[in-house]
Structure formats: structure tokens, C-alpha cells
Chain A
């Protein structure tokens, strides 16, 4: 089942890449000209994101380097111990919404240290896989179109990260416990 899926995923991109122009050609769309016409926008959009991404990445990497994260985790740790949840996964609650690469590296490290089939390894894998990097998504999507007032978008994203984090822990402890 899984192998079938990974195989299908590998075919998906080539299938899309050949299907779209082929279908368009049947519809008498000048495929190459249309491609280059649309592709032109890509460069400007990517460049427009630079200031937003630099701003965010500076703040996030300062935050990680300062040891502030460890301090924040220290505050919540007793609660986790009390609920007998492995507190080794706690840094993910802070890292996951901030940095995709950072939390992936942290997850890989947990899996390496405690083993992929340990409770910690399973919980970390589930947390990492179940949500996306909220701050990155917000920065890139809103940065690209120049939104200055983000309204409630960030609150919704962080709320869903928190729920996903807790859900991952409790589901894993129930299923594998």
C-alpha cells in the first residue's frame, strides 16, 4: 500500500508536467509562449519575498542562538512531567511553527538519539508531519502580495499548531502506549 503510494507520488509530477501542455495543445493553446509568459511572473514574486524572509529568519535564528527557547521550555516542563508526557518533544512545540528546517533537524536528532520506534521518536515524527511552518507560510504568502495587516491569520495558524501538537502527543500515547 505504502509502496504503491510512494511509487504513485514519483509518477505524479511527470504526469502533471506532460498532461497540462498536452491537454492545452488539444485546446489550441500555444503552449511554449504561454509557458514563458506565465513564468515571467515567477522571478519578481520570488524577489518580492526576500525582505520578508530575511526579516523573519534574522529574528528566528537570533531566538534560537540566544538560548531563549530553552528558557521558555523550562517554564512548561513541569506540566509535561506531571502528565507523564516525554518532555523531550517540547522544543518542537516552539520550533515547528517557526522553522521547518530547524524542527526537521531536531526531529531527526530525537529519532537518532531515542530510536525511531521509541515513544519519543513516534511522537516527534507525528508532530513534524502533521503541520506546516506557520510563520514561513505567512511570511511568504502575504509577503508576495504585500499584505501589511494580517488580521487574525497568525492567531488561527498558531492555534492550529498548538492543537496539532497536543493531538499528536495524545494520539501517539493512546495508539502506541
Chain B
């Protein structure tokens, strides 16, 4: 799917660009795009380095485990195939809470760290696991309580009530997230049960009762 979208964007751009007589602009855009990609990645370095340092302290102090326990039932419903008390759950929690409070630059490092932890449970490191897809779904729809950037923009342009969109945004984001979770569940239920091997084998029984009940017989624990 990513291969298709990438190819589609490039081919369509050149074809339509040629048709519109904008072929120069399209060629130029390729290089400004490349530049933007590098700029964004470099911008990520500082926040990644900082937050991963912070989060390592939190992990060593046992804070992440505490967080995972706190919202255990919800997380276990969403991630039935991640063993209980696995550090990945703590990072997932931190990522979701950072999104919730609109702390975008903290959410990304924690999300990436959560992915790295989930990768450790992955039998085939090149293929995304259901848990990774769920985490991605939650992040692409990202529930945010208060859209601070937009309120600021509305204020700048002299809105009579800049915050009046908080309610509508909350409702829309809630519906988008519900749709993401529903779609994710549907795809999960069509998956073959994953083959769990290696060190996670002995952890599987511990996670089984909750997982089996929550997943509705889907791609839970084999």
C-alpha cells in the first residue's frame, strides 16, 4: 500500500505537471521536498535525544511499569498480544497521554520508543505486528483534548470565541479514533493467530485470560 501511494503520487505529479505546463515546478518541488525531509529529521534529533534520556530515567525508576498498570484494562483490550507488564505498554501509555495533552514533540519520541519495544516481540522484524498497527492507528487519529495551535490561530484572526471549536474537535476526534479502533479490530480478526516463539512463550499464559476475553477470538495469543 505504501509502495502504491508513493508511486501514485510521483507518477500522477509528473503526468499532471506536464499537462499543466508545471514540469519545472514539479522538478523543483522534488528537491525542496528532499530538503524538508532532512530538516524535519534534524529537528527530531534534539527532542529524541532529550525525551529518550528522560524516559530511560522513568523506565529505570519503575515509573513506566506503574503507568502501564494504572490503565491496564484499556491497554490490554487494545493490545491483547503484548505481555502484561512489558515495558512497551508503559511507552504506549506515555505516548497516548502526550498526544492527549497536545505535547506533540514528546509524543513522537515515546511512540518511536514504544515501536522499538514492540519490535522486540516481533518474530519477523520486517513485517508490522497487529500491536504496531494498533499503536499507529491510535496515533494517526490522535485524540487531543485541546487543540492549542488552532485556538491560537483563531485568536490571531480576531475570533469572537476562539475556543468554540473545542467541543466539535473533541467530538470529531473521538469519532475518528473510534473508527480507527473499529477498523483495526476488524483487520485483526482477519489475521491468522501470530506464532509466538522464543522468550515470550512463557509470558503468554499470564496474558491469556484477559487477552482471550478482550480480543473476541481475534489475533490474540496463540
- Complex contacts, A156 vs chain B, CB 8 Å: 133, 136-137, 140, 180, 183-184, 187
Q: State whether B142 touches A55 (Cβ < 8 A).
A: no
Chain B interface residue count, Cβ-Cβ cutoff 8 angstroms: 104
CB closest chain-B residue, reference A102 = B36
Given known contacts A9-B148, A35-B57, A53-B37, is B52 in contact with A41 (CB within 8 Å)? yes
Q: State whether A37 touches B56 (Cβ < 8 A).
A: yes
Q: State whether A157 touches B136 (Cβ < 8 A).
A: yes
Q: State whether A164 touches B53 (Cβ < 8 A).
A: no
Judged by a CB distance under 8 angstroms, whether A79 is at the interface is no
Judged by a CB distance under 8 angstroms, whether A90 is at the interface is no
Give the Cβ gap from A35 to chain B, nearest Cβ, in Å: 4
Judged by a CB distance under 8 angstroms, whether B144 is at the interface is yes
Contact of A59 among B9, B45, B99 (CB under 8 A): B9
Q: State whether A60 touches B109 (Cβ < 8 A).
A: no
Contact of A126 among B57, B58, B136, B168 (CB under 8 A): B168
Give the A-B pair count, Cβ closer than 8 A. Answer: 349
Interface residues of B in 57-74 (CB under 8 A from A): 57-63
Give the Cβ gap from A36 to chain B, nearest Cβ, in Å: 7
Give the Cβ gap from A10 to chain B, nearest Cβ, in Å: 10
Q: For the complex, give the distance between the alpha carbons of A164 and B182 in Å.
A: 13
Main secondary structure of the interface of B (DSSP, over half): helix
Interface size class of A (residues with CB under 8 A): 35 or more
Task: Select the residue from B10, B111, B148, B153 with max chain A CB neighbours within 10 A.
Answer: B153
- Complex contacts, B20 vs chain A, CB 8 Å: 66-67
CB closest chain-A residue, reference B177 = A160
Judged by a CB distance under 8 angstroms, whether A82 is at the interface is no
Q: State whether A5 touches B115 (Cβ < 8 A).
A: no
Contact of A163 among B101, B167, B179, B184 (CB under 8 A): B179
Q: What string of 1s and 0s marks CB contacts (under 8 Å) between B176-215 and chain A? A: 1101100110010000000000000000000000000000
Given known contacts A65-B28, A111-B153, is B171 in contact with A50 (CB within 8 Å)? no
Given known contacts A58-B34, A65-B22, is B136 in contact with A167 (CB within 8 Å)? no
Q: State whether B37 touches A56 (Cβ < 8 A).
A: yes
Q: State whether B57 touches A20 (Cβ < 8 A).
A: yes
Given known contacts A104-B149, A146-B126, A160-B180, is B2 in contact with A42 (CB within 8 Å)? no
Q: For the complex, give the distance between the alpha carbons of A63 and B29 in Å.
A: 9
Q: State whether B179 touches A164 (Cβ < 8 A).
A: yes
9 sample A-B contacts, Cβ–Cβ < 8 Å, listed by A number: A2-B166, A9-B103, A35-B56, A54-B41, A58-B34, A59-B6, A59-B13, A142-B115, A153-B133
Closest 3 CB pairs of A and B: A38-B56, A164-B176, A39-B53
Q: Which residues of B contact A (CB under 8 A)?
A: 1-2, 5-6, 9-10, 12-14, 16-17, 20, 22, 25-26, 28-30, 32-34, 36-38, 40-42, 44-45, 48-63, 99, 101-103, 106, 108-109, 111-112, 115-116, 119, 125-128, 132-133, 135-137, 139-142, 144-151, 153-154, 157-169, 171-173, 175-177, 179-180, 183-184, 187
